[in-house]
Structure 1
């Protein structure tokens, strides 16, 4: 075979539709491989003190959570001619068109750049008119330029921890109910195994896409490479809708926690109290809120310890692991099975963060191994909570396992109340971080309107007033939705059936088929299409059942 002359000169061809496994070693070399030299240098300077190690670990988690929330927030549209501006001040505006250069708005552009504070300054780049810029794009361009001086990356253990922390969320509380609805042999273990294997496989598909397209830094970038701007808009819409739904779940969780701790109050009062507690979190700098993401995995570990401790200290049913409750092998209500699919799948909706995890790794070649360890540990956590919770309470399992724990007087009530308080703290910690991209989106949409821009310029306080009022209204809307749909299990079923199957199942498969279809073997294509249609069917049926 004749070797092209440009290969002899050290140049390589990038063939978009060629499967990564069929590329030459030089073609597989990515920006992240080049970064490994710098990563090895950084790794050589191992932190010596325990406090520095902890600080590095927490900083890695915070950085990943921060960028995960920035990934799919658009700061421009295809029609916008935007250049990101040079600045040495973290609070300069990120837009350079006349409508984005202003500093008079103050509060709005401060919030818009809040995700970048304490990170490298922005550099001047010109975005293609046909491509959509995101906040994460500006961060990545900046971090690439200042990598050696500023941007630390996560080692293997930190990457595993960050992935587990984002994957294991409040959905863990509804897993025992999912097993109660589906029982052991039907959709319980089978669905759990399918969801675990599916999302592990699709996570690796995303890794191959990121390896083949080194200029892709976000989940939206993968969609852009596969489907252009329309794919990116779809990802943004799904991402924001999912965040709103997650925020509703957080409000319901807090309201239920308050009701468990202070029983007998009206549900409307609990929602009002939740609104008063949660709304101020929208005004905290998101760089500080990102550190609170650690509470998620802390609460999950706490729940496991409390459930096992309660189950082993009580010798009689209900609520005992020594004398388990009556459980069934086959479901009594077959029509409720689609609901359990969403409840179980809700715990596996974390693929939107995987691009961030990948680009933040010191050694991206360890990504596949990292994914396997993440899903092995997360699956063990999920299975422990689901199995022990269902065995302890059987047909009496409630929508949140913490509600069952407080109803058994023989338990250590102080221990259980501490667990419930920690679960209640989870929404408080994550509410502001979850809704921040939603607020950024409507603020940017308003700022693009010339009439509103002119109205802002007349009085500087108007921007602050709109910022405050808008966030209060968004929080009020979320709390209102939580009051209208107060069932935590229904919300988690919707998250799992609709968003998890789309974001973590269907979309990675269809992107992979689009990018590498011509080079895939027929058998692999067939398997991918079968998985896609299974996900599609489960998503449709589960979503419909969530509203029944």
Structure 2
């Protein structure tokens, strides 16, 4: 299908970037970077690979969050001004643009109240400066990684992009896949898995078409604005924030279950208190360091797969054997819990939203479709291996996390299994700060945008730092409290898959694609897309409701 350009369709996304010369803005998203020079040593190649992975993980966590505010509609678009450095200033009721050469002293004094919060956020998150995105009616402050505003490193190669996609796609949801098959049975479980796999693969390609046709679009939020305006961007940002909070709750529950497996009999309240003491300090570590921990995702997935296969092949009899199958069923044993299986299986694909960042980070975006296919082939093999092996080994006794089953079989190599559990327990510790960082940055930006609070911050910097620290602690305490109130990992993952994955990975790309390319779509394509959208929406509602039943 020929994809019309944004110019042909009469749409454009207009950006005003703070403290950037206008002539550098026009080629900011151009994919004209040269390929990185050949590495001269193995360590440099490894460093390039790890750097690509951490950069992608950080950008994925940061770029889809926005903080909007009503602004004056009389502001001229900055790209229409002469090629001079412009600075965006925050005033009580609107954003005003001043020429840096004509109003240098005014800019300096006005920015003092923001400099402290900018500096502190930059030290903690490595995400600032903040970009002001002009929507035609207002500005929307988006959290952008500093890679966007500094000399950018070489983009990712094809192999690096595949690895980055798998690393983000294959997350903690893999632990609940055997339980999803237990709830659904072999037949409906396989059908649901194939549907989720095919759906997200297809919408990932729709996403690539939208990004190709609109070169200025960088994130899901940009796509939402292209299709539905500023309201679409705000809705998507709200969904991402809620999804990140839910992911953080899942990480807390996962850590708590790991601690309970290693120290059985410990009171749940004590486990949550220990989780709070372990995880909260992660919020104060700069995200540029935490982003390297994203490698733990694929490491833990591969380790749990290897442990399952080794344990299953070394044990001759059920339970816990791949040689002798446990009591599995072809159809759901309890139809009342079957709807929860759709969310559990779809939760494995909640990292689908990373593909927008992967696309923009590729050296050769024309290889995007090929990259998506290879990513899904490898991810599907990993997922199926864990799901099928885990359900065959434990059948009706499959627990909410397959790692819990592994520790209950005395015939297994306990040292090997405990090493896998330790690695899984490290995963939430490493990712907790990275996942919650956009949430913390969002409320900090929301505070500093208030004129009275902004002035109060500038006069009492020490008190402002105390508020920032206390705010992060309170956010962490709220997440821990939610984890204590909803201690079931399967319910959280079902909610994550049903409410967020179906909406963000299914409904949203389809609606954007239909909205942006409606004139070019045939009637059959429209019918198919609307049918898929309705199915996803229905599964999202049913799965969300059943997560609380």
TM over 0.5: yes
Q: Which residue of 2 aligns with 1:266?
A: 267
- 1:227 paired to 2:228: yes
Deviations 1:406-451 (A, max 9, x none): 0001101011001001000000000000000000111111111222
Range moving further from structure 2, 217-226 or 457-466 = 457-466
Range moving further from structure 2, 517-526 or 189-198 = 517-526
Kept in 1, the 8 Å contact 2:29–2:216? The answer is: no
Q: Which residue of 1 aligns with 2:138?
A: 130
- 1:325 paired to 2:318: no
Distance apart, 1:103 and its partner CA: 4.3
2:160 alignment partner, one of 142, 158, 161: 158
Distance apart, 1:524 and its partner CA: 0.7
Deviations 1:481-504 (A, max 9, x none): 000000000000000011000000
Kept in 2, the 8 Å contact 1:345–1:496? The answer is: yes
Rounded to whole Å, the distance in 1 between the matches of 2:273 and 2:72 is 40
Deviations 1:4-39 (A, max 9, x none): xxxxxxxx9822289xxxxxxxxxxx9799534x33
Rounded to whole Å, the distance in 1 between the matches of 2:424 and 2:145 is 34
Give the TM-score normalised by structure 1: 0.87
Say what the alpha-carbon RMSD is for the aligned residues.
2.7
Kept in 1, the 8 Å contact 2:328–2:396? The answer is: yes
Range moving further from structure 2, 401-410 or 449-458 = 449-458
- 1:108 paired to 2:117: yes
Kept in 1, the 8 Å contact 2:126–2:286? The answer is: no
Q: Which residue of 1 aligns with 2:69?
A: 77
Unaligned runs of 5+ in 1: 1-11, 19-29, 86-93
Rounded to whole Å, the distance in 2 between the matches of 1:502 and 1:443 is 27
| Gap change, CA 1:270 and 1:491, over 3 Å in 2 | same
SS for the counterpart of 2:175 is helix
Q: Which residue of 1 aligns with 2:281?
A: 280
2:31 alignment partner, one of 31, 35, 41: 35
Rounded to whole Å, the distance in 2 between the matches of 1:362 and 1:281 is 32
Rounded to whole Å, the distance in 2 between the matches of 1:125 and 1:311 is 53
SS for the counterpart of 1:324 is coil
Distance apart, 1:114 and its partner CA: 4.7
SS for the counterpart of 2:66 is coil
| Gap change, CA 1:337 and 1:109, over 3 Å in 2 | same
Kept in 1, the 8 Å contact 2:502–2:540? The answer is: yes
Deviations 1:103-139 (A, max 9, x none): 45666323433587499x8899978553423122875
Deviations 1:176-211 (A, max 9, x none): 0000010101x2000000000000000000000000
Kept in 2, the 8 Å contact 1:176–1:389? The answer is: yes
Kept in 1, the 8 Å contact 2:132–2:141? The answer is: no
Distance apart, 1:261 and its partner CA: 0.1
Distance apart, 1:454 and its partner CA: 2.5
Q: Which residue of 2 aligns with 1:14?
A: 7
Distance apart, 1:73 and its partner CA: 2.0
Rounded to whole Å, the distance in 2 between the matches of 1:123 and 1:68 is 16
Distance apart, 1:455 and its partner CA: 2.1
Kept in 2, the 8 Å contact 1:107–1:464? The answer is: no
Rounded to whole Å, the distance in 2 between the matches of 1:277 and 1:58 is 25
Rounded to whole Å, the distance in 1 between the matches of 2:491 and 2:386 is 19
Q: Which residue of 2 aligns with 1:61?
A: 53
Q: Which residue of 2 aligns with 1:542?
A: 543
Kept in 2, the 8 Å contact 1:284–1:432? The answer is: yes
Rounded to whole Å, the distance in 2 between the matches of 1:298 and 1:291 is 12
Q: Which residue of 1 aligns with 2:214?
A: 213
Rounded to whole Å, the distance in 1 between the matches of 2:193 and 2:407 is 27
Rounded to whole Å, the distance in 2 between the matches of 1:368 and 1:442 is 37
Unaligned runs of 5+ in 2: 12-25, 79-86, 93-106
Matches within 5 A, 1:257-406: 257-406=258-407
Kept in 2, the 8 Å contact 1:181–1:340? The answer is: yes
- 1:472 paired to 2:473: yes
